[in-house]
Structure 1
Amino acid sequence: MRNSSLPRAACALAIAIGTTLMVGCTPGPAYVRPTVDVPQQFKEAAVTAPEAQPGWVPADPRDTALRGDWWTLFNDDTLNTLEARVDAGNQSIAKGLANLQAAKAAAKEARAAYYPTVTAGVDASRYRTSQNVVGRSLAGKTVSDYAAGLDVSWEPDLFDRIGHQVDAATARYQAGEADLASIRLAMHAELAIDYVDLRGVDAETALLQQTVVDFTKARDLVQVRFTGGIASESDLAEAETQLQVASAQLVDLGESRARYEHAIAMLMGVAPSELSIPASTAAIALPAIPSGLPSTLLQRRPDIAAAERRVAAANADVGEATSAFFPDLLLSASGGVEASRFTQLATLPSRFWAIGPALVGTLFDGGRRKQELHQAEARESGAAADYRQTVLSAFQDVEDNLSSLRVLSDESGTQQRAVVASGRAEQLALARYKAGATDYLEVATTQSVSLDQRRVYVELSRRQLESDIRLIKAIGGDWSADDLSKVSTGSTRQGRLAP
């Protein structure tokens, strides 16, 4: 009689698949990007460009978009050289890249669940059954067993459980890409700020060096007058005190400069002893920042893209938790050869096989799946809140730095006039002292005021450059020609770190 077990098993398998496919579906909520209530325009941009009225568009991840070599806007060759070494040597970027590679592997691992699992094995054993066992045909006999076979198992994704896992892993990989872009943007911005601070110290150093020269000349003048009996000893003491205070301040700047240089070395991934940046007081350009920045530029911020992708991943987790309420179809098959003699393995009677589908569903679990679904829904709500907070924080970053640039620009103009006025007062006081119309206290006072005003001007210039860098970081890096076509740009400014 013909063996009909295989056709019957195949028939049962077809019935199980057909029945399940008829009731198959894709459970879980469809993903909708969270909405954010934001203004149509930056508040600070409206002050300088009221005609610009761009609308807000929810963040669309652009993880592969280049952030641009935005530091070249400052036209500083040394800064460009330092920034070029950050991507290759910075260890925070290296860690972010490793995390991204892990997320990519996790996404591929999730996708592998779509395919069947095939295992193969060979086995050789020899065993003896006890002779004192009743009812066994092999009692007291030594038997050899040789086998080779394949096992195949597959779980069709009837209710999109695997699909949701793949969606979640893919979204987390995309978030990892955006995270890496955020790290790169932050590291480049931090190095640029440290470089500006270092150049600020160079400018103050040059200022104090010239001050020491000027105070030395003033002290020598007082010394001559004191020797001639024209000036008092208190005038000489005052002049000497001023000179030594300025000299001490000049020495103190060396510590600050060393710290900034060391910080730059760490950001580049090299030991501080391997980096030496020559001093320079060359002017650093203040880039023409668009004065009417549209809120759509925030779509380019990688942290917003990462937050949005994590909401999508959390939504996929909800879908996976929903799929757990539906049964799983398991398909398995095995086959091979088995014999007590190795020479018989290749013969037809040694073959064996088994096939069978299984439809498995949980009937009662004490509410575990329900609570897992609630957890997934709560995590999605939390991820959506994180996304909205990230968008609002991005607006705050831009507003803060636009405000800083506006205020510092006004303050810098006023401070520059204060520098000119205090310098004029210093010259007049020194002329009056040489003419014998006043004592040295007036000279010392005006010199101190003039030095303070010049140092304040250097500090304002440094803060302007830092605000430029932070604004560029806040809008996600360099802007493209298409972005700039939507806004009015400010005039080109030339920055100076020394009056």
Structure 2
Amino acid sequence: MADCVSTRPAVRVLLAIVAALALSACAVGPDYRRPVQDVGATYAHAPEGRWMPADTPPRALPSDWWTLFGDAVLDELMRRMPQGNLDLAQAEARFREARAALDASRAGLFPTLGVSGAATREGQGVSRAGNPANTYSLSATASWEVDLWGRVRRDVEAARAGEQASAADLEAMRLSLRSTLAQAYFGVRASQRQDDLLARTLDEYARALEMTRNRLAAGVASPADVAAASVQLDQARAQRIRLGWQRQQRIHAIAVLLGQVPGRFRLADGPGLPTVPEVPVGVPSALLLRRPDVAGAERRAAQANARIGVAQAAWFPDLTLSAQGGYRAAEFASWIMTPARFWTLGPTLAMSLFDGGARAAAAASARAAYDAQAAAYRKTVLDALREVEDALVQSQALAEEQVARDRALAAARETLRQVTNQYRAGLVDYLSVVQAQTSALSAEQTALDVRAERLTASAQLIAALGGGYTPS
């Protein structure tokens, strides 16, 4: 009982020391501030009415942004993609790895506890007096490295930023894959529309060839007219063959995005090309929060900043508090008796006095790593701004081009109608008909291409704007 009372003052002193150290502890190293990067107040190429002043909350993209296109098949593909995509599975595994690293770093904030038991038999020399002897022991140990200079806290701060960066990487991968899937889907639908156009064109060319042969038999056409009609028909057939294998390659790409075997994948029929949606652009400052790659780069800068503190903490001594207690006796029956009890308690202070410049080099390396990550963050912001501006320029130009292409298509169809009537009346040769048909087909194909490009540009603009990403 006396031994128990005598240990209490030591325990009180130790607890007081721990409390004082915990209250006075500070974290060395610079506190993090996000690197400054000018982004401007508005986008230079945002169409009027689709951006808002900087003091107005921007209308954000929905998280399920693909529903803006109003295509049920695309919605189903987007729903299935996260379940089977292997690139996304890799990114998700890397995120779990980063989360585990955070949990491991947090463990340094807590004491380490252990327990051990032993039974030994030992002797010395050749004398039988006191030899051999048995020893039985049971002990528990506890140790805690006091985070006096904030090394562990900075390490946790770095690991937390690393986990957040990995989460942003996962979202960036998900956004990139969804954008790629949408663009591949639009390519397939445009190819199917082109195939329908070529199928109708082949029927028209086949009828024109038959008509020309009949006119040759009647003596009102030449063999050259028949040859020209035949060449035109074969060229259209060749275009359709090329279009077919290119469309199949896009379908195979969609299958891989879904994690399926390309040879067994079948794409459901759709209504055709979706409608180009109105995309809320917002303001440039929103990219700092709405782009997952920007968020990831910013978190890596925070991680590098915290590691400066970890490196600087190596210049200060480490304080470890340890305690051990238990029982030790020569007889098993009496090893938990009070006389067999033992305990130790005390702090340990350790510090490196000379390391050949290793700590200075580590601190300089950490500062250089932060400078690199800060520059990478600013570069990522600039790249994000460029991608948005590029997508805006492309979207506007394609919208204007589609108007011009539609007018050209209407003119080409009217020209073909008139030339065909003139040929039937014997006023022009068949070469004029071939030229008019070629122009009309080219105008039809180009108008479809522009519509598909507008859909692709919309998907690229949505991805450049962050695709509805909201950092957690």
Using the size of structure 2 for normalisation, the TM-score is 0.92
3-state secondary structure, aligned to 2:146: coil
CA shift in 2, pair 1:137/1:236, >3 Å: farther
Answering whether residue 92 of structure 2 is matched by residue 103 of structure 1, we say no
Distance 1:119 1:381 in 2: 42
1:427 counterpart (417, 420, 423):
417
Q: Runs of 5+ in structure 2 lacking a partner?
A: none
2:154 counterpart (139, 164, 181):
164
Matches within 5 A, 1:236-315: 236-280=226-270, 282-290=272-280, 293-298=282-287, 299-315=289-305
Answering whether residue 314 of structure 2 is matched by residue 324 of structure 1, we say yes
CA shift in 2, pair 1:130/1:242, >3 Å: farther
Distance 2:35 2:52 in 1: 26
Match of 1:494 in 2: none
3-state secondary structure, aligned to 1:93: helix
Maintained 8 Å contact 1:304/1:387:
yes
Distance 2:348 2:469 in 1: 57
Match of 2:71 in 1: 76
Distance 2:375 2:62 in 1: 26
Answering whether residue 22 of structure 2 is matched by residue 33 of structure 1, we say no
Maintained 8 Å contact 1:202/1:281:
no
Distance 1:70 1:453 in 2: 32
What is the letter of the counterpart of residue 295 of structure 1?
P
Match of 1:497 in 2: none
Q: CA deviation at 1:66?
A: 9.6
CA shift in 2, pair 1:319/1:346, >3 Å: same
What is the letter of the counterpart of residue 332 of structure 2?
F
1:121 counterpart (113, 116, 121):
116
Maintained 8 Å contact 2:51/2:282:
no
What is the letter of the counterpart of residue 347 of structure 1?
M
3-state secondary structure, aligned to 1:356: strand
CA shift in 2, pair 1:416/1:15, >3 Å: closer
CA shift in 2, pair 1:460/1:236, >3 Å: same
What is the letter of the counterpart of residue 263 of structure 1?
A
Instruction: Provide the aligned length of Structure 1 versus Structure 2.
Output: 465
3-state secondary structure, aligned to 1:54: coil
3-state secondary structure, aligned to 2:181: helix
Match of 1:487 in 2: none
What is the letter of the counterpart of residue 259 of structure 1?
Q
Stretches of 4+ moved more than 6 A in 1?
2-5
Match of 2:54 in 1: 54
| CA deviation vs aligned residue, 1:271-315 (integer Å, no higher than 9, x gap) | 12332114445241111123x631133121111111111111111
Distance 1:450 1:12 in 2: 95
RMSD, matched Cα: 2.6
Distance 2:50 2:186 in 1: 31
Matches within 5 A, 1:129-148: 129-131=124-126, 141-148=131-138
Match of 2:397 in 1: 407
Match of 2:350 in 1: 360
CA shift in 2, pair 1:34/1:207, >3 Å: same
What is the letter of the counterpart of residue 35 of structure 1?
V
Maintained 8 Å contact 2:186/2:273:
no
Q: CA deviation at 1:18?
A: 7.8
Answering whether residue 321 of structure 2 is matched by residue 335 of structure 1, we say no
CA shift in 2, pair 1:241/1:51, >3 Å: closer
| CA deviation vs aligned residue, 1:7-64 (integer Å, no higher than 9, x gap) | 786587578658866974321111111100222111101x53598442699xxxxxxx
Maintained 8 Å contact 2:122/2:132:
yes
Maintained 8 Å contact 1:56/1:296:
no
Match of 2:194 in 1: 204
2:168 counterpart (178, 195, 214):
178
Q: CA deviation at 1:87?
A: 1.6
3-state secondary structure, aligned to 2:45: helix
Match of 1:495 in 2: none
Maintained 8 Å contact 1:123/1:147:
yes
Maintained 8 Å contact 1:333/1:355:
yes
1:378 counterpart (356, 360, 368):
368
What is the letter of the counterpart of residue 239 of structure 1?
A
Match of 2:205 in 1: 215
Q: CA deviation at 1:343?
A: 2.2
| CA deviation vs aligned residue, 1:107-164 (integer Å, no higher than 9, x gap) | 11111111110011122233444539xxx986xx333332221111011111111110
3-state secondary structure, aligned to 1:286: coil
CA shift in 2, pair 1:50/1:457, >3 Å: closer
Distance 1:41 1:242 in 2: 51
| CA deviation vs aligned residue, 1:416-449 (integer Å, no higher than 9, x gap) | 1111111111122211111111111111111111
Maintained 8 Å contact 1:310/1:383:
yes
3-state secondary structure, aligned to 2:451: helix
Distance 2:125 2:99 in 1: 55
3-state secondary structure, aligned to 1:326: coil
Maintained 8 Å contact 1:304/1:391:
yes
What is the letter of the counterpart of residue 121 of structure 1?
S
Distance 1:66 1:333 in 2: 57
| CA deviation vs aligned residue, 1:229-282 (integer Å, no higher than 9, x gap) | 221111111101111111121122221111111111111112123321144452
CA shift in 2, pair 1:15/1:277, >3 Å: closer
Identity of aligned residues (%): 35
CA shift in 2, pair 1:281/1:213, >3 Å: farther
**Greater Cα offset, 340-349 or 153-162:** 340-349
